[in-house]
Structure 1
């Protein structure tokens, strides 16, 4: 049985392990080997001898104080909570013939790659990957985030008013129960300024129950993050490069996490860097709320599609639902041309991983789904009428084959 976690894509959280008491007690790691296998780059190893003396001392301290099976625990936690099931993961393979579709790298993906290559100390970056440091703000938001009037959105709070206002409008617009959906930010520096917040995440990741021990590890991780100024103490977009919706609706083993939408600073920074900061942040939020419509209407399971094609369907549907809201006269009432210019944000994050379980649609397919959503709103005979969500889904299901049809030109 799977819970459902929708990021800027939708992914399953496989309930495959239990952390804590069921795991072995904390034990000293074997530090006699100079290299550790990377989770981010399977099969590769990172040699501590290449690190600066200061960073090497911190890495060695981490290795000496983590449980002996820390890598297995890290991977089990990531699988259980779906931490790596995002469109930023290293997607591979193919389900439909890539030659049938126009697909390639986009400016968004090139920007994401540049974030990693711009880090001055690449060996430090790799060790932060290995220790799961880039995942810590995601864990923090997922398990410990909450909606509050004091929350801000964006590194400098620049998106607070528009996203907070839109969150309220989305609840009024859609015909689902949404009073329990919380909208919250994901900040990097804020998390990495608190050893206690980092420690509670490390406890989740590695199953460490010794509070003084995990607090010491948290301080080491924070020192590693602060070792390269490019990482900005956690404000580098890499730490918060995500947006996701979460619901435990129908889960037989709930964690007790409320329905939520999390907006990471890194996504907002990326949109601005690419010139998509106009309506794109609102488009991302509307997309994520579209996933909550799917949760409430049971649209994740109401399909015969499986694997990558099922994920692609829900992602394209969320694109369409989000744009319908943005352009509807009773939604955000935004000009369709303006919205679709910013909806390029979904074009930009389209992917070519045709057979990956996380395939979300090619760039052209994502833009086509958004364009269709706008057309439904703009061509309606009664501009003041909001289609019931199940009726909009019915129309989308009929349109889906056209949205995903081959578009390559020979």
Structure 2
């Protein structure tokens, strides 16, 4: 198995935004962008003419200093580290008939779409997309980040205590080896306030070893991020709208990155904005840890499902595993009300990308998987007994056909 990203979300793909992709790193989240194109003096085929003079000067400087094949280098780095990939694009052939399912927009999806359209200067936003600026905090946390006693979670550190404690509790709860799993924060402004941190990411993305050049490029990117107040110097949730589990277990070409769960400030802000800030952060972390249970038990294998249905299986399983922990007496002991709110979190991030290999399940399917996992915990006769994770998987596999059965009303 190759590197895995899970619950991977970037708002640049808000139209198909879903949490929790457990997919190979060489086919992870996609960031698609079609630039306004016309032949320019830069020779790149991208158009800077619509930018203000100040922004045009910055973008032109960036284009002039980047290597000629910078776009290919950007894409190669994204593929190597699983930052994004075209597998999130819609496939030509749908595996699932959308007409069989109830599937519509959610408050979370609408919030995500609003972030992207809320940037006043859309041309600036597009150029930030092209240069990979929205991925910089993800690279920073994934490749250079680590767990620390000084780590904070949330823009203002609001979720630090609860997430740090929960990570410790999750390691005690599950029956898999987990001591090496790090909980890593992802911040925006903190990264874009450091020319050194932006430079090392750009060096990684574009393969630039000339330190003066990469530092100048970092200065340009930071200036672009600070050019629009709406971007909040990197604290706009767009930059950290990402949370994922990562493992190189079984990868024949590891990059030397430890097992980790990365929690972006943007995701936490988004969940708070749709009224789920009291339970959803812990729900996300429980889901992410569920993916690490899958890694350790090799649960990505052992299925005949392929494409969208295969990814949907592992995502719904992580929903169920997460909710089992949340509701269990030895887990977080969520009340019925809190359990329903946790299930609501999964519902909100369901998606309708039936043809995408990153399809995670419809809102109703994610709700059903979550409620099922919680019910297994609630029905345990011996309240302190935790099912072995392979046994919980066995029960889930038997329940899966019922969870994903068509539910459209004609």
Q: One fold, TM greater than 0.5?
A: yes
CA distance in 2, matches of 1:212, 1:93: 48
Partner of residue 223, structure 1:
223
Q: Secondary structure at the match of 2:3?
A: strand
Residues 1:40 and 2:40 are matched in the alignment: no
Partner of residue 41, structure 2:
none
TM-score normalised by the chain length of structure 2:
0.91
Per-residue CA shift, 1:266-287, capped at 9, x if unaligned?
0000000000111110000000
The CA RMSD measured in Å over matched residues stands at 2.0
Give 1:245 deviation, angstroms. 0.4
Per-residue CA shift, 1:61-115, capped at 9, x if unaligned?
0000001111111112112222125998788863210000000111111111100
Q: 1:14 to 1:337 in 2, by over 3 A?
A: closer
Preserved contact between residue 2 and residue 248 of structure 2 (Cα < 8 Å): no
Partner of residue 310, structure 1:
310
Partner of residue 34, structure 1:
none
Q: Please give the residue correspondences for 1:85-96 in structure 2 after superposition, counting only pairs within 5 Å.
A: 94-96=94-96
Per-residue CA shift, 1:296-353, capped at 9, x if unaligned?
0000112121111110000000000000000101000111332222331211111111
Q: 1:142 to 1:86 in 2, by over 3 A?
A: farther
CA distance in 2, matches of 1:320, 1:123: 41
Per-residue CA shift, 1:332-375, capped at 9, x if unaligned?
01113322223312111111111211100001000000000010
Partner of residue 107, structure 1:
107
Preserved contact between residue 152 and residue 160 of structure 1 (Cα < 8 Å): yes
Give 1:44 deviation, angstroms. 6.2
Give 1:2 deviation, angstroms. 3.0
Residues 1:373 and 2:373 are matched in the alignment: yes
CA distance in 2, matches of 1:87, 1:372: 29
Partner of residue 204, structure 1:
204
Q: Secondary structure at the match of 2:283?
A: helix
Q: Secondary structure at the match of 2:156?
A: coil
Preserved contact between residue 2 and residue 250 of structure 2 (Cα < 8 Å): no
Partner of residue 352, structure 2:
352
Partner of residue 327, structure 2:
327
Partner of residue 179, structure 1:
179
Q: 1:292 to 1:87 in 2, by over 3 A?
A: farther
Preserved contact between residue 88 and residue 358 of structure 2 (Cα < 8 Å): no
Residues 1:97 and 2:94 are matched in the alignment: no
Which residue of the other structure, out of 2, 6, 10, is the alignment partner of 2:21?
10
Per-residue CA shift, 1:121-173, capped at 9, x if unaligned?
11100000010000000011110110000000000000000000100000000
Partner of residue 363, structure 2:
363
Q: Secondary structure at the match of 1:154?
A: coil
Partner of residue 251, structure 1:
251
Give 1:176 deviation, angstroms. 0.4
Preserved contact between residue 307 and residue 357 of structure 2 (Cα < 8 Å): yes
Q: Please give the residue correspondences for 1:251-290 in structure 2 after superposition, counting only pairs within 5 Å.
A: 251-290=251-290
Q: Secondary structure at the match of 2:185?
A: strand
Residues 1:239 and 2:232 are matched in the alignment: no
Q: 1:170 to 1:384 in 2, by over 3 A?
A: same
Q: Secondary structure at the match of 1:2?
A: coil
Q: Secondary structure at the match of 2:262?
A: strand
CA distance in 2, matches of 1:43, 1:77: 24
Q: Secondary structure at the match of 1:261?
A: strand
TM-score normalised by the chain length of structure 1:
0.91
Preserved contact between residue 5 and residue 247 of structure 2 (Cα < 8 Å): yes
Give 1:4 deviation, angstroms. 2.1
CA distance in 1, matches of 2:118, 2:26: 36
CA distance in 2, matches of 1:128, 1:99: 37
Partner of residue 400, structure 1:
400
CA distance in 1, matches of 2:371, 2:111: 24
Preserved contact between residue 85 and residue 358 of structure 1 (Cα < 8 Å): no
Preserved contact between residue 187 and residue 264 of structure 1 (Cα < 8 Å): yes
CA distance in 2, matches of 1:80, 1:377: 38
